[in-house]
Amino acid sequence: MRDGLITGRRIDGLLVAGGRSRRFGSDKRRVSLAGRTLAERSLALLRATVDGEVFVAGYGAFDHPVRATFVADADAGAGPLGGLVGALLHARFGVLVMPCDAPLVRADTLRAVAKLGRTSGRAIVVRSHRGLEPLVAFYPRRVLPFLAAGLREGNRALHRLVVRIGALEIGAPDPREMHNVNRPQDLERVASRIG
């Protein structure tokens, strides 16, 4: 057992870091929050939660102190789904997914998603007050054909695909933890909650 997770089914991590940050105005992956960039915070949380490799899906390279492997999108321009399919092609059992712009996601929430995914072998998606959060989720490798079919069909909306694959839902204990940093004012709100 490692950090409260059952061994035997290795879970890899996937940091979704492919957005162009148009609303933010600069590369938000590199924005500092409480001494670390948004990407560093998310990578560290993934590394502490999974027992396999950590992948990064997104455009271009960026510096980070946590070991990770860049994976190419299975379909360029397909958004997070392209990165998820690309990561699942390399995963043994499944991937725990986290976006780089959600710095309030709690470690216990991510561990609960990973644990339920490991024990059930099913896709697990967090539900917040906004609805399903398909980028704070676990996807087993066995759903790869369904997600790849979504890419081929042009159905790239993950929140619809998770319903089609029969994902289990887990509630977010704190509704604020799913807050994304999309604009500079979002970063200010998040910083006030952290600090």
Residues in a beta bridge with 138: 96, 124
Taking a C-beta distance cutoff of 8 angstroms, is the pair 139, 95 a contact? yes
Q: What is the pTM of this model?
A: 0.82
Following DSSP, what letter does each residue of 142-166 receive, concatenated? GGHHHHHHHHHHT---HHHHHHHTT
Taking a C-beta distance cutoff of 8 angstroms, is the pair 22, 64 a contact? no
pLDDT for res 34: 59
pLDDT for res 4: 43
Other Cβ atoms within 10 Å of 118 Cβ, number: 22
pLDDT for res 67: 67
Instruction: Establish how many alpha carbons lie within 13 A of residue 9's alpha carbon, considering only the half-sphere containing its beta carbon.
Output: 20
Q: From CA 76, how far away is CA 177, in angstroms rounded? A: 29
pLDDT for res 57: 85
pLDDT for res 168: 96
- Residue for token digits 């399919």? 85
Taking a C-beta distance cutoff of 8 angstroms, is the pair 72, 10 a contact? no
Residues in a beta bridge with 132: 127
Using one digit for the tens of pLDDT, what is the confidence trace for 145-182?
999 999 888 888 888 899 999 999 999 877 777 767 66
Q: From CA 33, how far away is CA 11, in angstroms rounded? A: 27
- Token pair in block for residue 123: 């896709």
Domain boundaries, the chain: 11-194
C-alpha 97, offset from chain centre: 3
Fold of 11-194: Spore Coat Polysaccharide Biosynthesis Protein SpsA; Chain A (3.90.550)
Torsion of the alpha carbons at 63, 42, 13 and 88, rounded to the nearest 10:
-80
- Token pair in block for residue 49: 């939660």
Intervals of the chain under pLDDT 70: 1-8, 18-35, 59-67, 179, 181-188, 190-193, 195
